[in-house]
Amino acid sequence: MPYYRSVGEVPRKRHTQFRQPDGSLYAEELVGQEGFSSDSSLLYHRHAPTAIVAAEEFTPPAFTRVPNLPLKPRHLRTHKLDGTGADPVLGRQYLLANDDVRIAYVLADRPSPLFRDATGDHCLYLESGSLRVESPFGVLEAVAGDYVIIPTSTIHRLVPTGAEPTRLLAIEAAGHVGPPKRYLSVRGQFLEHSPYCERDVRGPDAPLLVDGEDVEVLVRHRRGWTRYTYAHHPFDVVGWDGHLYPWAFSIHDFEPITGRIHQPPPVHQTFQGPNFVICSFVPRKVDYHPDAIPVPYNHHNVDSDEMLFYTGGNYEARRGSGIEQGSISLHPSGFTHGPQPGAAERSIGVDFFDELAVMVDTFRPLDLCDAASQCEDDGYAWTWARRG
């Protein structure tokens, strides 16, 4: 994250003696990206974070990937995946994936196990409900409309907290996710043209200080999954400081960038990941040139697939296509896409769009996963050719 935080108790100088009430040393843990060459945080544990008493292979729920063949636009209705609920980690139903990112949906009504993903950062978007994110850094509360970024290898537990199940879109990166570099100064401060800033970002503000022995943690790593049993609870941290920690940002705090004529998707960019970007489409004043056509023009992104998750309001360009709350559209590279028939004419004179959507643009093709076939609207691809 672009700015420094200090939480709980930390010594004045790093890597110096910091003793517990009984005189023993607290155990330091440096969590850092790119070796020792990028962002990091320094945590102080009551017990050694390296002490494990067991390790065994773990078999997670399986899913398969198949190419988007024949190549065509797709419409996935995520609410058709509703079941009795699940935990927000192992219950994820994978929809789309490539070697850079996996996109899943879950209706969660129970806590997840302790989990660490050593393969990349997670960006979670809460469609509805509320969620408590517990980690060695403390507690982070999230509500509908929040993005939550969980850095690589952070042990965490996701706990739905509302009366109703939490609907969650999970974007799992094979690398790191953060604000676009063009929004940041060379020292990491948000610049004046950024659509959000440090005041909009929330991080943990107090240690959890959980005690316990023989605690199981599931770890996804580059060779598979392992279930570790730790000698002591990993949330035994008395304090930490640094730039790397879980953080949350509300889509409702994204300040839209508008213009006299239609603005392209990069103005909606919110995060960047390895070979993909995440954008936020929010309620906003739209094009105010007297001859403007507010909906998007037909466009052919020759280098990227475009996925849109519709999470509120009315998306003018897709009216008449069956798009609804919780829908996901996939418009692949190699196919020209644009507004539904009649949308351009209907939009003339409109001065405000009341829409809420999360977009993921990938620079490698997205494959279809098992859950996609369970909730696909097979007629979507032909909606541009309707006659009469």
The answer to whether the annotation marks 315 as part of a ligand binding site is yes
DSSP structural state of residue 13: S
SS3 66: strand
The answer to whether the annotation marks 289 as part of a ligand binding site is no
Is residue 56 a contact partner of residue 346, using CB atoms and an 8 Å limit?
no
Question: Cα–Cα distances in Å, from 157 out to 3, 134, 188, 238, 304?
Answer: 24, 5, 29, 18, 33
DSSP-assigned letters across all residues of 145-214: TEEEEE-TT--BEEEE-SSSPEEEEEEEESS--BS-GGGB-TTSPBPTT-SS-GGGEE---S------EE
Q: Which two tokens stand for residue 277?
A: 């970007």
DSSP structural state of residue 354: -
Is-catalytic flag, 262?
A: yes
Q: How far is 328 from 306, CA to CA, in rounded Å?
A: 10
**Which listed residue (262, 268, 289, 331) is catalytic?**
262
CB half-sphere exposure, 229, CA atoms < 13 A: 6
The answer to whether the annotation marks 337 as part of a ligand binding site is yes
The answer to whether the annotation marks 45 as part of a ligand binding site is no
Is residue 166 a contact partner of residue 131, using CB atoms and an 8 Å limit?
yes
Q: How far is 77 from 82, CA to CA, in rounded Å?
A: 10
Catalytic residues: 262
- Return binding residues for homogentisate: 315
- Return binding residues: 299, 305, 315, 337
- Return binding residues for Fe cation: 299, 305, 337
